[in-house]
Amino acid sequence: MAARKTTRKTPAKSNTSKDELLTYYRDMLLIRRFEEKAGQLYGMGLIGGFCHLYIGQEAVVVGLEAASKEGDKRITSYRDHGHMLACGMDPKGVMAELTGREGGYSKGKGGSMHMFSKEKHFYGGHGIVGAQVPLGAGLAFADQYSGNDNVTFTYFGDGAANQGQVYETFNMAALWKLPVIFVIENNQYAMGTSQARSTSTEDIHTRGIPFGIPGEIVDGMDVMAVKEAGAKAVAHCRNGDGPYILEVKTYRYRGHSMSDPAKYRTREEVQKMREERDPIERVRAMLLEGSHASEDDLKAIDKEIKDIVNESAEFAKESPEPALEELWTDIYAEVAPQEA
């Protein structure tokens, strides 16, 4: 199939229903407040090790989840808490894992970057930059082999897009027409390196063209635009037309991880983005302007979300640390995979 060079920005639909807007608002706010709480717990010494917050990027995963259906899979990098919450994983289990407690998704032995949920088809959490990309194609291969019409959302960053394994994966995914959506979460920075300093092209999705993979740019600060582009990509994959690339232009407000001197960008740059492009504020304004919700209604939602997040932190604090014997469990699979 011939590649299409599609660099247009997908426009947001203004006819999004009240219920949809409220769902987006709730789901994005849950991620924002959860991440803020994780940042606080980190500061208190209750979370240790690596921890990468998703604040600012909420519209990406919430928009794409809105375009998914049961059985679709997702896999991402270490900046993964938002993806877990958006696909319906329990905030309590995620927070308890962050604090290294028994009640966490990996029994407290994985931490921020290593959580999984078979039930929600969430395949991690990967600390090696770009490593999840071939794994995502593998998940899509499994669906194709099984003959279902599910798709896999394979998320990676602008920095990861410079990894060689991404292009080996593009080749195989295009050759075998795998139902995989490559979601490039382009937040403009890879640790302290801006895209302009590290990446030869301004638009990354065009790198699919040599492999015949269509792609497009999406405004990642607009959840409706993300949903709309996601629905198009999903339809392409479900139809058996092979992989699709969504380059979602987004921005992270916080540092790369918890220890980031942030000398590579100005405070004004971050402030401008927060004030003018914030994805949650955008939906909030639409809800108010369209008289879909009053200030009081939104306050009630804010409280509801705050309660969920506080409960998750309480659960995490109360859950015990894993017993010493747990060091010897969950190392090797106990049941060998069945041959087909």
Ligand X SMILES: Cc1ncc(C[n+]2csc(CCOP(=O)(O)OP(=O)(O)O)c2C)c(N)n1
Six-digit token pair at 212? 């015949």
Count, residues near ligand X per rule CB under 6 A: 14
Q: Which is nearer to ligand X, 159 or 214 (CB)?
A: 159
DSSP 30-57: HHHHHHHHHHHHHHTTSS-S-----TT-
Binding-site member from 47, 129, 173, 309 for ligand X (CB under 6 A): 129
Q: Which is nearer to Mg ion, 41 or 258 (CB)?
A: 258
Binding-site member from 74, 81, 256, 277 for ligand X (CB under 6 A): 256
Q: Shortest gap between Cβ of 158 and Mg ion (angstroms)?
A: 4
Q: Which stretch binds ligand X (CB under 6 A): 117-125, 127-135, 235-243, 294-302?
A: 127-135
Q: Which is nearer to ligand X, 127 or 134 (CB)?
A: 127
Q: Does 137 bind ligand X (CB under 6 A)?
A: no
Q: Shortest gap between Cβ of 237 and ligand X (angstroms)?
A: 23
Using DSSP's 3-state secondary structure scheme, residue 287 falls into helix
Which does residue 123 bind out of ligand X, Mg ion, none, counting CB within 5 to 8 angstroms by kind? Answer: none
Q: How far is CA 107 from CA 21, 321, 333, in A?
A: 35, 9, 16
Contact set for ligand X, span 181-200 (CB under 6 A): 187, 189-191
Q: Which is nearer to Mg ion, 78 or 123 (CB)?
A: 78
Task: Determine the residue with CB nearest ligand X.
Answer: 157
Residue partners of 132: CB distance under 8 A and separation at least 6: 75, 76, 77, 123, 124, 126, 154, 155, 156
Q: Shortest gap between Cβ of 77 and ligand X (angstroms)?
A: 6
Evaluated on CA atoms 314, 319, 321, 327, the torsion sign reads negative
Which does residue 79 bind out of Mg ion, ligand X, none, counting CB within 5 to 8 angstroms by kind? Answer: ligand X
DSSP 300-332: HHHHHHHHHHHHHHHHHHHSPPPPGGGGGSSSS
Q: Give the separation between CA 91 and CA 313, rounded to whole angstroms.
A: 9
Most distant pair of Cα atoms in the chain: their distance: 57
Q: Give the separation between CA 58 and CA 24, rounded to whole angstroms.
A: 10
Q: Shortest gap between Cβ of 131 and ligand X (angstroms)?
A: 7
Contact set for ligand X, span 53-92 (CB under 6 A): 77, 79
Q: Shortest gap between Cβ of 278 and ligand X (angstroms)?
A: 18
Q: Shortest gap between Cβ of 32 and ligand X (angstroms)?
A: 16
Which does residue 75 bind out of Mg ion, ligand X, none, counting CB within 5 to 8 angstroms by kind? Answer: none
> Interface mask (CB under 6 A) for ligand X, residues 287-326, using x and -?
----------------------------------------
Q: Give the separation between CA 176 and CA 181, rounded to whole angstroms.
A: 14
Q: Give the separation between CA 183 and CA 190, rounded to whole angstroms.
A: 16
Q: Are strands 215-219 and 5-9 parallel, antiparallel or unpaired?
A: parallel
Residue listed under structure tokens 């403009």:
188
Residues that bind ligand X (CB under 6 A): 77, 79, 127-129, 157-160, 187, 189-191, 256
